[in-house]
Chains A and B, each alone.
Chain A
Amino acid sequence: MREHSGIYPRGLWPAFALPGVVWLILLFLVPFYAVIGVAFGGVDPIFMIPMPAWNPLEWNFDSMIQTLRGFLPGGDYWAVFIRTTVYVGLALSICLLVGYPVAYYISRHTRRTKSVLLALLVLPFWVSYLMRMLAWVNLFAPSGYVNEFLAWSHIMPDPPDWLNGNPISVILALVYGYIPYLILPLLAALDRIDKSLLEAARDLGANPFSAFLHVTLPLSMTGILGASVIIALPMFGDYYTPNIISGSPTTSMLGNQIDLYFHGGPQPSIGASLTMILALFLAVLMTYYMYSVAKATREVRDE
């Protein structure tokens, strides 16, 4: 790494970065502190609006303790928390089971088919998430094509109601919604694997299967973890998918609970505590991901 202070005046780059950094401090860090302030603040007894506590010495831990107690077995959020984890876990597993082979197949293509497949793969990215959910709802409506097909083909002569508190539809909708965000980073990771390593493995007598198991899979592990984190984070906070697909309290997730406290009930401090707990819970995932990204960036920089 050489120094290049010669070309540009000293202080030019910090000056360039300044507006963006100030923006992020004002509209990303300060808002996050507002959540903390509200979570540890009180509620105005007359107007029922939150009174945030900015000074850590004035923090009031009541609503946070109350919220945390809700996460214990038997508490208010225990069931929702378990349900969210199970839904996200299942959706993530299905995404990986479908997404990995697809990404693998496309990354191994060298012909023109690859560009076509890539374009088709990127297409859902450009269709709004809500539009795709709307399409899904129309298909799975009681008189929709899916039920008509199931009845017509006698696979399920009496098809179920997919759109009313059916956990299977919620999980499948999550898969349908998030899988493109998993495949593309995975594809990028698989694409980066040096093909000559595979050839070396074959030369040394590995069959295709063991070459995959001992070369490709370990080399793509970082990609798998990164892509999983990328879709798991928004899935944990998702509230619109379960609302659109099911709308029933029996399938509500953590995000729905937060949404409810802010848009329904006058308990913003509990909503803020829930948001904080969700953020802290996800912080572990985020930190891991940021660490690996920062590492990768440093490698690029030092090259």
Chain B
Amino acid sequence: MSEAALTTRPVRRPQRTFARRATDWIANPWGKPRFLVLLTWVYVISSIAPVVIAIQFSFNDGRSLTAWQGFAGARWYWGDPVNSVWHDPALQHALFQSLKLAGLDMLIATPLGVMLALGLARWRGRAASASNFLMLFPLVTPEIVMGVSLSLAFLNVFTFIEPSTTAQVLGHVTFSLSYVVVIVRGRLFSIGRQYEEAAADLGATPWETLRLVLLPLLMPAIFSSLMIVFAISIDDFVISQWLSCGADCDTIPIRIYSATRAAPLPSINALASIMVYFTLVAIGISYLVYRFMTRGERPAGGAGKSMVGSMGAFDV
């Protein structure tokens, strides 16, 4: 009895409760930028919540995409013998097609773009300015215009290339090239020329300067180009669809597109989620590698800046 009386005695709390803080927060709209805090967090949560819910439904125990029927583990990934991503040939094929396109795109567009960036940054003259201007166009051309023009070109000009994986790869490289140029050129400007000049002064041949000085310095940019090309290629829908050869050329986005209009199963969510896992792992690795490669270069507190710099690639 006495114990209960002790515990129920009103005690002055040293810390304000959450509810108290919330009422204070509403009562005083001045001071801290409360409206901005609220809006930012509402935005951040609402931009991510749908994706989290979609991933949740890839684990649904039923065939519904809108009503949660319990956790089914890996049923839609490989458990289900007919409809899971692993056992449905169409879904499996789409996954491999996406990875194939992104991989090839990455391997072709990055070297091509690095060379183009180096060339355009240092080559002077009228032809150079024209090429510089031309390079920027793919960044601002709406994808449908690019898709239509490429498909018409393959139908009427380069008739030896039919709509196929080859055509898709050519299209993907065309739109990712400019991203590589923008990223690499940014790095090129930030490192300047002193290192190369020093190497040349110390007797390095042009080839040695390129290979032993410039290339290692460009490595972080080359690496983030690889990652970004992979990410935008895996994300691409329009170009892949316009150059598609039918079911054999279906990528994951094309599958999702056709499934939303039919009656999709959670396996489509599983397929889309796999893509999210892939990109998240790739981003995690690239972030760590990038930090490792540029250690000692970054001013304190600038974490993430480079990420924004390369993500806001349009921004030059």
CB-CB under 8 A for A20 and B152, given A122-B307, A135-B50 = no
SS class, residues of chain B in contact with chain A:
helix
B268: Cβ under 8 A from any A Cβ: yes
Task: Give the A-B pair count, Cβ closer than 8 A.
Answer: 306
Contacts of A103-145 to chain B: CB distance below 8 A: 104-106, 108, 110, 114-115, 117-139, 141-145
Total count of chain B residues near the partner, CB < 8 A = 103
The segment from A58-66, A73-81, A151-159, A267-275 that touches chain B is A267-275
Bound Cα distance A142, B155 (Å): 42
B96: Cβ under 8 A from any A Cβ: no
Contacts of B155-194 to chain A: CB distance below 8 A: 155-157, 170-171, 173-174, 177, 181, 189, 193
B18: Cβ under 8 A from any A Cβ: no
B196: Cβ under 8 A from any A Cβ: yes
Contacts of B144 in A (CB 8 A): 237-239, 255, 258-259, 275, 278
Contact of B257 with A16 in the complex, beta carbons under 8 Å: no
User: What is the minimal beta-carbon distance from A23 to any residue of chain B, in angstroms?
Assistant: 6
CB-CB under 8 A for A31 and B150, given A126-B279, A237-B142, A240-B238 = yes
Contact of A105 with B44 in the complex, beta carbons under 8 Å: no
The segment from B5-13, B75-83, B128-136, B288-296 that touches chain A is B128-136
Contact of B256 with A282 in the complex, beta carbons under 8 Å: no
User: What is the minimal beta-carbon distance from B38 to any residue of chain A, in angstroms?
Assistant: 10
Task: Jot down 15 A-B pairs with beta carbons below 8 A, ordered by A.
Answer: A4-B197, A27-B171, A28-B138, A32-B149, A104-B36, A108-B33, A118-B304, A121-B44, A131-B272, A184-B315, A188-B308, A234-B142, A236-B142, A296-B316, A297-B316
- A residues lining the B interface (CB < 8 Å): 4, 6-9, 12-21, 23-25, 27-32, 34-35, 37-38, 50, 52, 98, 101-102, 104-106, 108, 110, 114-115, 117-139, 141-145, 176, 179-181, 184-185, 187-189, 191, 226, 229-230, 233-234, 236-240, 243-244, 247, 255, 258-259, 262, 268, 271-272, 275, 278-279, 282, 286, 289-290, 293-294, 296-297, 300-301
- B residues lining the A interface (CB < 8 Å): 33, 35-37, 39-40, 43-44, 47-48, 50-51, 53-54, 57, 64-67, 112-113, 115-116, 118-123, 127-128, 131-138, 140-146, 148-153, 155-157, 170-171, 173-174, 177, 181, 189, 193, 196-197, 200, 206, 209-210, 231, 234-235, 237-238, 242, 252-253, 256-257, 259-261, 264, 268-269, 272-273, 275-276, 279-280, 283, 301, 303-304, 307-309, 311-312, 314-316
